[in-house]
């Protein structure tokens, strides 16, 4: 069975395409929520170890919101969205009409709103995977953590520690009329599920 860092360029490009379609769905969903046109950049798929990923995400102590969703049934694994302060503040402003500048000001309502966004984003990606592969994937209720990115990343790092040190990261920019917000998503299918996905796409 392949590890993430043993995938061929072609297999990587297939996963990129899944990311692309998923991001397209996610951008559409965000447009509806934000009542604004949201475009997106071509996603950048990277396979990195945790330390490099932490650096990419602003250093280990950078405070982010992490939304964790587990995948079950034909594809098992996890998705972890990492949202930066600006993104979260904007979402809360639009959704709840609350102006906040700091994570410590997030109310319980704010937390549920962020979780709902996680649900919608995760659903967008999973629908993309399900449509392209004909696989049945279920999502668990999202869980949220607001903390140092290094601490949040220890969760996938530990869960997937048996599969080597590498994590699979999709990075892309959502571009609205006002500004550009970079989002980060870790998609971590278990290795046998990754195999299942690649086989369903006829590339394994």
Residues that bind other proteins (CB under 8 A): 50-51, 54, 59-61, 63, 66, 68, 104, 143-145, 147-155, 157-159, 161-162, 165
142 touches 69 (CB < 8 A): yes
Closer residue to other proteins (CB): 109 or 158: 158
List CB contacts of 2: < 8 A, sequence separation 6 or more.
11, 191, 194, 195
70 touches 78 (CB < 8 A): yes
Alpha-carbon span 188 to 68, nearest angstrom: 11
Closer residue to other proteins (CB): 34 or 67: 67
Closer residue to other proteins (CB): 11 or 116: 116
Distance in Å, CB of 162 to other proteins, minimum: 6
Distance in Å, CB of 152 to other proteins, minimum: 6
Distance in Å, CB of 103 to other proteins, minimum: 8
Closer residue to other proteins (CB): 152 or 201: 152
Closer residue to other proteins (CB): 43 or 156: 156
E strand segments, 41-142:
44-49, 63-73, 77-83, 137-139
Structure tokens at 55: 């650096």
Alpha-carbon span 52 to 160, nearest angstrom: 16
Structure tokens at 70: 């587990």
Distance in Å, CB of 92 to other proteins, minimum: 18
Alpha-carbon span 101 to 147, nearest angstrom: 15
Distance in Å, CB of 54 to other proteins, minimum: 8
List b or e across 27-46, with b for residues whose CB sees 16 or more CB atoms inside 10 angstroms.
Answer: bebbeebbeeebebeebebb
Closer residue to other proteins (CB): 132 or 163: 163
Distance in Å, CB of 49 to other proteins, minimum: 9
């Amino acid at each position: 069975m392949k590890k993430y860092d043993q995938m061929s360029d072609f297999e990587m490009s297939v996963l990129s395409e899944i990311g692309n379609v998923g991001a397209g769905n996610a951008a559409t969903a965000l447009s509806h929520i934000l009542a604004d046109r949201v475009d997106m950049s071509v996603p950048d798929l990277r396979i990195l170890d945790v330390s490099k990923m932490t650096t990419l995400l602003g250093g280990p102590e950078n405070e982010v919101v992490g939304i964790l969703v587990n995948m079950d049934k034909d594809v098992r694994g996890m998705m972890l969205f990492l949202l930066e302060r600006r993104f979260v503040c904007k979402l809360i402003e639009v959704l709840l009409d609350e102006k906040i500048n700091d994570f410590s000001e997030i109310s319980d309502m704010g937390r549920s709103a962020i979780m709902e966004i996680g649900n919608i984003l995760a659903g967008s990606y999973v629908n993309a995977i399900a449509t392209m592969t004909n696989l049945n994937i279920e999502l668990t209720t999202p869980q949220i953590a607001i903390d140092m990115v290094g601490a949040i990343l220890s969760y996938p790092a530990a869960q997937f520690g048996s599969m080597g040190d590498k994590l699979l990261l999709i990075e892309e920019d959502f571009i609205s009329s006002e500004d550009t917000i970079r989002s980060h998503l870790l998609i971590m299918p278990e290795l046998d599920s990754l195999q299942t996905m690649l086989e369903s796409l006829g590339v394994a």
